[in-house]
Amino acid sequence: MTKIHRRFADRVAGFVRDWSLPRQIAGESPYSKAAESSLSQNLRPRLTEADKVGTIICPYCAVGCSQLAYAKNGRIIHVEGDPRSPINQGTLCPKGSATFGWLTSERRLDHVLYRAPYGEHWERRPLAWAMDRIAWLVKQTRDETFVDELPDGTLVNHTLAMASLGGATLDNEENYLIKKLFCGGLGMVWIENQARV
């Protein structure tokens, strides 16, 4: 449990190593070379620390700027513009430049929260439990409200009791599975997304 701080020995060694007076007397300029410290000498951009880099597309608007995401040890350490893309040529707007801030926002949620009916606060519940519970609710709601034909005999095969909102910010593959499962499988018709907002 060692406490990290600048010990006396380090201070003395550091002072002697970076002492400018002797270098100044030896002729180096006190405004540049003589003043340079060892920290400045071996300074490197943090991207050299990255052990993985990938191309992602900015998650904000539809211009489709492409970005480079750098990661180290399974965590993203920086996101900035991809210079190869003809769409943004390395540049990004304020939102795109904040992608790293979004991924590492303090307000980010990483566990499932559940509110029981008439409850007054959130509870933490495991993901698997939530998935089972939602599947059961979907089946129960569908079974109770599925209509195969209207009174006048017209074929409908739908349920009006379940709805889904969402997808303009989701991947195409996600939208495809949502429409395939909800419409093609469960017979939901209330399926919409931000395209109309």
Partner 1 sequence: MATVSGIVTVAQENRFQLALDEGGTRLFVVTHNAAIDPDQLAALQAQQVHVAVTFRPVDELIAGEARAITELPR
Partner 2 sequence: MIPDEAELTAGVKIEPGKSYGFFTDTTRCIGCKACEVACKEWNLLPADGLHLTGMSYDNTVGLSASTWRHVAFIEKISDGDGRATEMAPYQSNWLMMSDVCKHCHNAPCLEACPTGALFRTEFDTVVVQQDICNGCGYCVPACPFGVVELNMIDGKAHKCTLCYDRLKGGLEPACAKACPTDSIQFGEVGELQQRAHQRVSELHELGVDSAYLYGVPNSPGATGDLGHLNAFFLLTAEPEAYNLPAAPSRASNRVGPSLSFGLAAAAGLALAAAALFGWQK
Partner 3 sequence: MTLVSTPSRAPYGREAKYDPLRADNAPITTYYDQPQLKKSHWGTRVALYIFIAGLSGGAQLIATAADLAGGEQHRGVVRRGRHIALLGVFFGPPLLIWDLHSPDRFYNMLRIFRRTSPMSIGTYILSSFSLFSLMTATAQLAGWRKAAQLTQLPAAIAGAGMTTYTASLLTATSTPLWAAAPRSLALQFAGSSFGAAAAALQLAGRVDGDEAAAPVLEGLALAATATEFVGALAAERRHRALGIADAASVNTASGALYKLGALGLGTAVPLASYAGKLIGGRPRPWLMMTTALAVLAGSFALRLSVLAAGNESAQRPQQSLRFARREKVR
- Exactly one of 1, 21, 43, 150 binds partner 3 (CB under 8 A); which one? 21
Q: How far is the CB of 178 from partner 2 (least distance, A)?
A: 32
- Determine contact, residues 36/48, Cβ cutoff 8 Å: no
Q: Which residues bind partner 1 (CB under 8 A)?
A: 1-6, 14, 38-39, 46, 49, 72-73, 75, 77-78, 104-106, 108, 110-111
Q: Is 107 in the site for partner 3 (CB under 8 A)?
A: no
Residue that has been written with the tokens 């933490």 in this structure: 124
| Beta sheet of 52-57, edge-to-edge order | 52-57, 66-72, 75-81
State the DSSP code for 179: I
Q: Is 69 in the site for partner 2 (CB under 8 A)?
A: no
Q: How far is the CB of 21 from partner 2 (least distance, A)?
A: 10
Q: Is 12 in the site for partner 2 (CB under 8 A)?
A: no
**C-alpha–C-alpha distance, residues 20 and 31, integer Å:** 10
Cβ-count burial of 70 within 10 angstroms (0-12 exposed, 13-18 middle, 19+ buried)? buried
Which one, 29 or 145, has the nearer CB to partner 2? 29
Which one, 30 or 184, has the nearer CB to partner 3? 30
Q: How far is the CB of 102 from partner 1 (least distance, A)?
A: 11
**C-alpha–C-alpha distance, residues 89 and 64, integer Å:** 12
- Determine contact, residues 187/157, Cβ cutoff 8 Å: yes
H-run or E-run covering 67: strand 66-72
* Residue 75 binds which entry of partner 3, partner 1, partner 2, none, CB below 5-8 Å type-dependent: partner 1
Size of the site for partner 3 (CB under 8 A): 12
Contacts with partner 2, residue ranges (CB under 8 A): 14, 18, 20, 30-32, 34-40, 43-48, 50, 53, 68, 70, 78-81, 83-84, 88-98, 100-101
